Amino acid sequence: MPNPTLADVALRANVSLATVDRVLNDRSGVSDRTRARVLSAATDIGYLETGTATLAPVRLAFVLPEGTNAFVHELARHVTEQSGLMEQVSASVERVTGFDPVALAEKIAALRSEVDGIAMLAVDHPIVREAVRSLVADGKAVTTIGSDVRTVDHLGYIGIDDMQAGRLAGYLIGRLTGAESRREEHPGKVAFFAGSLSYRGHQEREMGFRQILREEFGGLTIAAHREVQDSRALAETEMEAILREHPDIVAVYNAGGGTAGIAAVLERTGRAEDITFIAHDLTDGNTSFLLRGTLDAVIDQNARHEVREALTTLVHAVRGTAYRMVPPRLQIVFRENLPSG
Amino acid sequence: MPNPTLADVALRANVSLATVDRVLNDRSGVSDRTRARVLSAATDIGYLETGTATLAPVRLAFVLPEGTNAFVHELARHVTEQSGLMEQVSASVERVTGFDPVALAEKIAALRSEVDGIAMLAVDHPIVREAVRSLVADGKAVTTIGSDVRTVDHLGYIGIDDMQAGRLAGYLIGRLTGAESRREEHPGKVAFFAGSLSYRGHQEREMGFRQILREEFGGLTIAAHREVQDSRALAETEMEAILREHPDIVAVYNAGGGTAGIAAVLERTGRAEDITFIAHDLTDGNTSFLLRGTLDAVIDQNARHEVREALTTLVHAVRGTAYRMVPPRLQIVFRENLPSG
């Protein structure tokens, strides 16, 4: 048959066109038996070449920042684990210098010829936006994971709503310090830490945090504000300085990494119990600070869920099949609901 | 070939024995092309009958209590939705009278000839345990979902740790009422509601709740204790009585259903703001009580996740393939982290 069509495959396999379409696009609802018949028919009449896999391999890359951020390590681990279980999907983890838009843009441009899709923890910067635009124009599937770039057409952002996360942190601090009844003339002082405000995520957490304090807890005020690049050492130095300058602070919110540095100072100075401390991401270190009572709560996003959604979204986009992403939940972990898995 | 073996299939398809095993047991890691070749070879040499689906259909039933419990409705909805997407799997939802061990035992015994596996929201009672034992002895796959029976061999319990949930509720009430600093000579009074203590889950929530109050918040005491059978009307009547008897209560923990009845009383009497109120399960009703501030927090289990794990566990057990369940997380939902999905 010189130019066999889908209809020829359907005729030969004695199934409907819809079934042929399902099989060739790897959708569910077809028994393995029927799938085999369709694939055989397609090969027999030359619609598929013998030896060609029906599912074209999908090559993906996850571009994540270098460094010791434990949440990023979790993401990387789940990429390897989960993609290993998917048929005809390979996903590599590529590391770039953190907070550096040029390095990120160059990396994703360099990957262009090697992959069908990219997920990246994005720095929100014009250079990165331009690189994403160019990849998308080239027909590549692109999602962001963990931190987004806006005003660029891509498949979407897979992660928590960081504005909501910042509001939540402020709400917890307000409730746990009893700030509803605090008078504005004797405000409670709060310290705020970010990793880098070049991550849209950290910027948004700050916006949300300020917003809810203004709305609901007028008796709380941000007395100290630091950007510590997710560095434990820098966070430690800055926390010491804050305690010297403001020994009367009632709470700390760390929107980024380096939580261990802040915790070390709180424990060393005996302030762990009376200062309410909220941070992000349920890492091993944070788990032990929760158990010791140094951290009051951790705001967590489920790395496993996010990687699964990113992989599924990208694979469906590359194969041209439909998929609706299940948004991750914003979880609060206290000592009393530490998850087992 | 009179008695073809797996090795014959492997030889004919020119693949390894391991690959044949993977295909016939529907495991991943095999391309569709190879899968087709193995299935064709198996049919050609008579190892599989022509026209027989390789994947035997799996028939499952989810046995859930009747009534208006919104969490149960969520479970039922997800069973229909998710099983519809699985190949060769049918799953029905069967309703039985709630809290009734005899009805539950009769229902699962009656399903024996119709299904390969059962998931049920279990009442922990000797009659139910015996019925489960008998089903398992008969080779059926059985899991519990939402509430467990113990000391019976089954595939496992899919749901939250309810003792942990009760501790969490006590922890939240302790922290949100500032009970760490409350003196034991002027204790804060708390009201406790259960659906039915014949659900092991509700019993365990009470145990955990009492445990943490004893451990950490000696200044809180359970002044009222009611079993309201998940009934909104009964909860409403009882909450009115509690407020008459104990106008000075500082918190309410409802471990079961009927939250709307308690909330109605708190709102009507103007006590919604000063009484801390914790309940379970993120239903539509509970969402609006969170938004209005009547409920302070909801302890949630993710019905979608639990149904997916139950379906996957049962299907793998029926097909004889390996699967390790991912335990659900115990989630806390405040007004500020209401999920979108």
CATH class of the domain whose range is A162-300: alpha beta
Q: Do domains B58-158+302-328 and B162-300 have the same CATH topology?
A: yes
Give the closest-approach CA distance of A101 to chain B in angstroms: 30
Q: CATH assignment of B58-158+302-328?
A: 3.40.50.2300
Q: How far is B293 from chain A (nearest CA, A)?
A: 12
Q: Chain A contacts of B330, Cβ < 8 Å?
A: 337, 339
Nearest residue of A to residue B173 by CA position? A176
CB contact (8 A) between residue B40 and residue A40: yes
| A165 contacts A197 by C-beta, under 8 angstroms | no
**Owner of token pair 């158990």:** A291
Q: A227 CB contacts (<8 Å, ≥6 apart)? A: A193, A194, A195, A196, A197
Cα–Cα distance between B98 and A306 in angstroms, integer? 37
Q: Taking CB atoms and an 8 Å limit, are B85 and A54 in contact across chains?
A: no
Q: If we measure between CA atoms, which residue out of B180, B164, B147 comes closest to residue A338? A: B164
Kindly identify which residue of chain B lies nearest to residue A57, measuring between CA atoms. Answer: B31
Say whether B35 and A40 touch across the interface (CB within 8 A). no
Q: For the complex shown, is ipTM > 0.85?
A: no
What's the pLDDT band for A54 if we cut at 50, 70, 90?
low
Among A256-265, B33-42, B248-257, whose mean pLDDT is lowest? B33-42
**What's the gap in Å between the CA of A17 and the closest CA on chain B?**
19
Q: Best interface-test mutation with B: which of A32, A215, A277 has the largest number of B CBs within 10 A?
A: A32
For range B31-60, the mean pLDDT: 71
- Count of A–B CB contacts within 8 Å? 124
Q: Which of B275, B252, B272 is nearest to B264 (CA)?
A: B272
Query: Are B327 and A337 within 8 A, CB to CB?
Result: no
Structure-token pair, residue B113:
């000839």
pLDDT given for residue B52 in this prediction: 43
Residue B151 has pLDDT above 80, yes or no: no
The sign of the dihedral angle between the CA atoms of B227, B231, B232, B237 is: negative
pLDDT digits (tens, 9 = 90+) for B51-76: 444 567 999 999 999 977 788 899 99
CATH of A58-159+302-329, one of 3.40.50.1370, 3.40.50.300, 3.40.50.2300, 3.90.420.10: 3.40.50.2300
Yes or no, beta carbons of B302 and A330 under 8 Å apart: no
B43 touches B35 (CB < 8 A): no
* CA closest to A43 among chain B residues: B33
B33 chain-A contacts, CB cut-off 8 A: 39, 51-54
Give the nearest partner residue to B171 out of A29, A329, A334, using CB atoms.
A334
A1 token code pair: 């048959």
- The overall average pLDDT reported for chain A is 88
Q: Which residue of A has its CA nearest to B57?
A: A31
For chain A, what are the domain ranges? 6-44, 58-159+302-329, 162-300
- The residue type of B115 is V
pLDDT of A63 above 80: yes
